[in-house]
Amino acid sequence: MSAGTVFGLCAAVAVGLGLYGVITNPQPLRKILAFNLIGSGVFTFFGVVAHRGAAAGFGGDPIPQALVITGIVVAFSATALALALLLRLFQAAGSATLRADAPPSAGSDPAKP
């Protein structure tokens, strides 16, 4: 098994685990972490793509690396924004849930338990 295949499979496993977490886990913080896991898988996949390009005789295709750096910056800012929103939601509602049928009501009436 070549290095490309191994890393490709690892990337697929990370994406799969992350997708499972994002879809099934009800807690927003875990969803954010799972999203980062998907991101790591995708970035590894970009590495595999760069490695395949290198097989043509180059030392490595630099463009996927450039794309990955941009992708990491985007994922970092996304995580920061999501965490900031989550913190504000927790401060305003006293709990953090994404369930549509249980809207946080404590925000409008802080006296309620």
Q: Is 54 in the site for other proteins (CB under 8 A)?
A: no
- Cβ neighbours of residue 101 under 8 Å, at least 6 residues apart? none
How far apart, in whole angstroms, are the C-alpha atoms of residue 91 and residue 101?
A: 20
Min dist. Cβ of residue 111 to other proteins (A): 14
How far apart, in whole angstroms, are the C-alpha atoms of residue 91 and residue 28?
A: 14
Of 7, 52, 65, 72, the residue at the interface with other proteins (CB under 8 A) is 52
Of 33, 42, 54, 72, the residue at the interface with other proteins (CB under 8 A) is 42
Residue reference for tokens 């490709």: 8
Residue reference for tokens 């249980």: 102
Half-sphere exposure of 78 (CA within 13 A, CB side): 14
According to CB under 8 A, which residues from 65 to 104 bind other proteins?
67, 70-71, 74, 77-78, 81-82, 85-86, 88-89, 92-93, 97-101, 103-104
Under DSSP, is residue 41 helix (H, G, I), strand (E, B) or coil? helix
Give the footprint of other proteins on this chain (CB under 8 A): 15, 19, 22-24, 26, 28, 31-32, 35, 38-39, 42, 45-46, 48-49, 52-53, 55-56, 63-64, 67, 70-71, 74, 77-78, 81-82, 85-86, 88-89, 92-93, 97-101, 103-108
